[in-house]
Structure 1
Amino acid sequence: MASSSANIKFGKTFYVWPTGVHKATIIWLHDVEFTGYCSVAALKSLKHPNIKWICPTAPKRPVTSLGGEVTTAWCDMTKASENMLDDFENLNDVNEYITSIFSCEPENVMKGLGGIGLGAAQALYYTSYYAFGWVPISPQIVIGINGWLPGWRRLEYNMCNTTLGAANRAATSQILLMHGTSDDVISSAFGYKCADSFRKAGFPTLFKQCGGSKHRLIQCVLL
């Protein structure tokens, strides 16, 4: 897959500001074809007074699984399957962008990362890279809805063959993965395999299946 990292241009970032003492910042990543604005109303409705939500918008790029349609996407993606090709170059570009956002937040607040669909995949990818020692900021809270882990088959290998302290870094991220049993884009079984790979690699991970509704409907209900 070709990368457009030299000309990458992210869209507008939207915020849900804390109404109380700022104790945590969570970056929330939207799914393919959406924007950061699409999550704002739902996140406001959660009414967590101490959380600052940051909702960036992905760059526009051709997406192979959509027949080459140009739309907002954190990276390119092929047809979803356990053997899908991963666009590591663009995933890594977004990792740098996430780090730059976290770096502007106060050091004393908890950092979190989450998303849905392709956004969840990016969030989980960043989390794995922190454990490997390849990004500098720990996402202590990680939430993924109807997502997967790019490069999931190599997670344990990378944990054993990267910098010292990978297990300790993995233990700092509390991961909650939620998946619809009738998701027609990413199967629940694939989501479970990714969750299981996290658990085996030493990440504290909870996997929760949700009642059978289609991928887009779950976006509306769970967000």
Structure 2
Amino acid sequence: MSNRNFSTSSGSGNGSRTFEFGRTHVVRPKGKHQATIVWLHGIGDNGSSWSQLLESLPLSNIKWICPTAPTRPVALFGGFPCTAWFDVGDISDDAPIDLEGLDASAAHVANLLSTEPPNIKLGIGGFSNGAATALHSATCHVLGHYGNGNTYPINLSAIVSLSGWLPCSRTVKNQIERSRDGIRRAASLPLFLCHGRADDVVAYEHGENSARTLSSAGFQNLIFRSYNGLGHYTVPEETDEVCRWLTANLVLEGFRLN
């Protein structure tokens, strides 16, 4: 568990903002360390609450890193300041995108993963606003650069999105299709997206449309799961499926589902 505060610039040139990230919580693997996953919370939450849930999962070979987002004004809440990985005003395809905030958070995640041993598989997962940041990181990995053009340095092996959506969905497909390396990386990166049909915060259609966009952009190893009656939260059925999927795609040893 760490009390360090991280300061990350968006790196987009003159006038770029600096973001102060909060406390990072680490859940050490109880068995052989085979994978490290950064898990990103939703708006208004923090890394601590998810670290407690992740520690209870039967995935003894995964190290979980649970950072806390910067506190910033969020347009969706009338500018009220709360923890968020990037500013959100609307989730529609036509909504303005806080690309600077997205890139800064994706860079912070990449920095957290950059010191892991070379034989360890790396992944990113998240819930809601954190899930959107995880999917943005996936597109940065595939394209080889952040939205601002800076090189993306991490080789990812798995992405998990719970109750999230794909930011910049209108441009992702065209960008990947113009890149031979992007097409290759998209085909090989496993994605697992889950969404509740009763979600009243991030509407189900946003999750479904994001999965469809990613599939059409070349993400061939993508699974989308929907859950009847599930709102904007997670349930054991969902986390059990995440455990099975991570075990299969990261080739983890010793998985036992209670």
| Range of TM-score over shorter length | over 0.9
CA distance in 2, matches of 1:82, 1:117: 16
CA distance in 2, matches of 1:206, 1:110: 19
**After the TM superposition, which residues 65-214 of structure 1 pair with which residues of structure 2 at under 5 Å, given as runs?**
65-134=76-145, 135-162=152-179, 164-203=180-219, 204-214=221-231
RMSD: 1.6
Q: 2:70 matched to which residue of 1? A: 59
Q: CA deviation at 1:6?
A: 3.5
Q: CA deviation at 1:171?
A: 2.3
TM-score (norm 1): 0.93
CA distance in 2, matches of 1:6, 1:186: 27
Cα offsets for 1:5-60 (capped at 9, x unmatched): 53311000001110111000000000000000010111011121100000000000
Secondary structure in structure 2 of the residue aligned to 1:214: coil
Q: CA deviation at 1:129?
A: 1.1
Q: CA deviation at 1:83?
A: 2.6
Of residues 12, 15, 25, the one that matches 1:14 is 25
Cα offsets for 1:96-123 (capped at 9, x unmatched): 1111111111110110110000000000
The answer for unaligned runs of 5 or more in structure 2 is 1-9, 146-151, 240-258
Secondary structure in structure 2 of the residue aligned to 1:165: helix
The answer for unaligned runs of 5 or more in structure 1 is none
Relative to structure 1, the CA distance from residue 156 to residue 7 in structure 2 (aligned partners, 3 Å threshold; closer, same or farther) is: closer
Instruction: Say if 1:5 and 1:93, in contact at 8 Å, map to a contact too.
Output: no
Instruction: Say if 2:25 and 2:66, in contact at 8 Å, map to a contact too.
Output: yes
Secondary structure in structure 2 of the residue aligned to 1:171: helix
Identity of aligned residues (%): 36
Aligned length: 218
CA distance in 1, matches of 2:183, 2:80: 40
Secondary structure in structure 2 of the residue aligned to 1:126: helix
Q: CA deviation at 1:213?
A: 2.8
Secondary structure in structure 2 of the residue aligned to 1:74: coil
Is the deviation greater in 60-69 or in 135-144?
Answer: 135-144
Instruction: Say if 1:5 and 1:90, in contact at 8 Å, map to a contact too.
Output: no
Secondary structure in structure 2 of the residue aligned to 1:46: coil
Secondary structure in structure 2 of the residue aligned to 1:95: helix
